[in-house]
């Protein structure tokens, strides 16, 4: 008799938010669900996508906008992909070089990660600047990093297309590129901001959790063909990852988690680079620390729920930055990539509190708000730093408002 009912191979990149998948395996949550879970580390999102496409992987830790881009035919090969679960909220930061940081300080920036004041300071620096444009690194064109960096810049009055240059680099190369002056700043996940601060003279300007609170970052991308033919295996995996998210959220487990993630087979970096993201006690400069309560949220606030409004916001940014034309069919493809229905039915048996809606107005919750009758679930705050709302039922209006200079 076979020991396991399901065999699943998952691709991941060595980043902090691969934690949920790694814990699902290492702490036995996959095994409880009768899953033989194999984790394969990769070095680029392109390869994760390609190996998902041809069936080397059934599922993967992947950039939240990437499955949408695949389904819209923006990448090749373009596997049909679904997102039945998110792998946490937040987790990114924008790191700038020491040189740029001190110029920003001269223009009024303070070391408190406030997106508005650092954005204002950056705009002043750019206005006064002569010569080359500042260059910022992101990890992929279809990444939350790219869109939140651009959102922050644009809402601060800086045109990301003409006033700065945005380049793509592997996250592990960001720190070196910052130090040698190839770039002036970057938006990346952890541990690469902590690395930039501790080892490459960088300074955190702001964090994802300040630009858009409770916002999506990595998701579980699933080969749709496999999902269609293996609904039980997928449901079992979602339960295992959900249990892993609860385990990751427990402060008492953070030390063990940091050590687990630092292992050779996973992130393979010092545990001290991984702790800040887990505890929220960020090193924002060599001499400054700041506690960001919701820097990375693995479980609370429905952090694993695949909101259709998240998918649609990414879609609006793809349109905003000229990656795709806005049409009704495109919008439907984007929205339908995220599958809260699969999440609900897989996790039903756990008896946990789940959001009743599949979409929400992003930015509507100004504070932590209990939802549902049981009160066991709280959502928010989920606002953008510029105070704008995103109503997924009014996409046309949102898009035309964003066209204004």
Partner 1 sequence: MKPSSLNVLVIDENRIRASVIEDGLRDAGYVQVTIIADMNGLARKITEIDPDVIVIDLENPNRDMLESMFQISRAVKRPIAMFVDKSDEASIEAAVDAGVSAYIVDGLKQERVRPILKMAISRFNAFSRLSRELEEARGELENRKLIDRAKAVLMRTRGLSEEEAYALLRRTAMGQNRKIVEIAQSLITAASLLDPGADV
Interacting residues with partner 1 (CB under 8 A): 43-47, 50-51, 53-54, 56, 73, 75-78, 139-141, 167-170, 172-173, 322-323
Enumerate the H helices of 200-230 as residue ranges.
208-211, 224-229
* Distance between CA atoms of residues 338 and 311, nearest Å: 6
Give the nearer residue to partner 1 in terms of CB position, either 45 or 313: 45
Give the bridge partners for 59, in sequence order.
10, 222
- How would you classify the pairing of strands 288-291 and 89-90? unpaired
Give the nearer residue to partner 1 in terms of CB position, either 323 or 402: 323
Burial environment of residue 402 by CB neighbours within 10 A (0 to 12, 13 to 18, 19 or more): middle
Q: How far is the CB of 15 from partner 1 (least distance, A)?
A: 12
Q: How far is the CB of 245 from partner 1 (least distance, A)?
A: 26
In 127-265, beta strands by DSSP E:
134-138, 164-168, 185-189, 202-207, 218-223
Give the nearer residue to partner 1 in terms of CB position, either 76 or 394: 76
Give the nearer residue to partner 1 in terms of CB position, either 37 or 139: 139
Q: How far is the CB of 44 from partner 1 (least distance, A)?
A: 4
Q: Interior CA angle at 232 toward 303 and 17, to 5°?
A: 30
Q: How far is the CB of 180 from partner 1 (least distance, A)?
A: 10
What single-letter DSSP state applies at residue 133?
A: P
Give the nearer residue to partner 1 in terms of CB position, either 75 or 317: 75
Q: How far is the CB of 348 from partner 1 (least distance, A)?
A: 35
Give the nearer residue to partner 1 in terms of CB position, either 71 or 75: 75
Q: Which of 120, 119, 110, 89 is nearest to 19 (CA)?
A: 89
Q: How far is the CB of 5 from partner 1 (least distance, A)?
A: 27
Q: How far is CA 75 from the centre of its chain?
A: 19
């Amino acid at each position: 008799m076979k020991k396991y009912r399901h065999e699943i191979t998952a691709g991941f990149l060595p980043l902090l938010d691969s934690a949920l998948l790694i814990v699902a395996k290492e702490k036995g949550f996959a095994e409880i669900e009768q899953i033989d879970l194999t984790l394969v580390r990769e070095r680029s999102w392109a390869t994760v996508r390609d190996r998902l496409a041809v069936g080397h992987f059934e599922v993967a830790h992947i950039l939240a906008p990437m499955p949408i881009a695949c389904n819209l035919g923006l990448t090749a090969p373009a596997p049909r992909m679904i997102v039945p679960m998110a792998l946490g909220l937040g987790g990114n930061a924008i790191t700038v070089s020491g040189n740029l940081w001190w110029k920003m300080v001269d223009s009024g920036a303070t070391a408190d990660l406030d997106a508005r004041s650092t954005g204002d300071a950056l705009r002043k620096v750019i206005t006064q600047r002569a010569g080359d444009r500042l260059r910022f690194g992101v990890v992929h064109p279809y990444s939350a990093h790219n869109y939140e960096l651009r959102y922050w810049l644009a809402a601060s009055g800086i045109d990301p297309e003409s006033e700065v240059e945005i380049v793509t680099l592997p996250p592990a190369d960001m720190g070196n590129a910052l130090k040698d002056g190839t770039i002036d700043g970057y938006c990346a996940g952890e541990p690469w901001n902590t690395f930039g601060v501790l080892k490459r003279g960088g300074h955190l300007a702001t964090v994802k959790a300040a630009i858009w609170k409770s916002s999506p970052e990595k998701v579980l991308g699933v080969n749709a063909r496999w999902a269609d033919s293996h609904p039980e295996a997928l449901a079992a995996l979602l339960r295992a990852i959900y249990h892993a998210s609860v385990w990751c959220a427990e402060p008492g487990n953070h030390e063990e988690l940091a050590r687990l993630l630092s292992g050779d087979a996973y992130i393979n970096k010092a545990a001290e680079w991984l702790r800040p993201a887990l505890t929220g006690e960020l090193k924002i400069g060599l001499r400054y620390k700041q506690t960001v309560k919701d820097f990375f949220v693995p479980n609370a606030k429905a952090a694993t729920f695949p909101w259709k409004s998240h998918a649609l916001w990414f879609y609006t940014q793809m349109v905003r930055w000229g990656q795709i034309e806005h049409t009704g069919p495109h919008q439907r493809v984007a929205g339908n990539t995220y599958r809260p229905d699969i999440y609900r039915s897989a996790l039903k048996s756990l008896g946990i509190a789940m959001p009743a809606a599949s979409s929400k107005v992003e930015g509507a919750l100004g504070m932590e708000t209990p939802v549902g009758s049981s009160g066991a679930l709280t959502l928010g705050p989920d606002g953008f730093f510029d105070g704008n709302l995103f109503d997924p039922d009014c996409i046309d209006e949102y898009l035309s408002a964003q066209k204004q200079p």
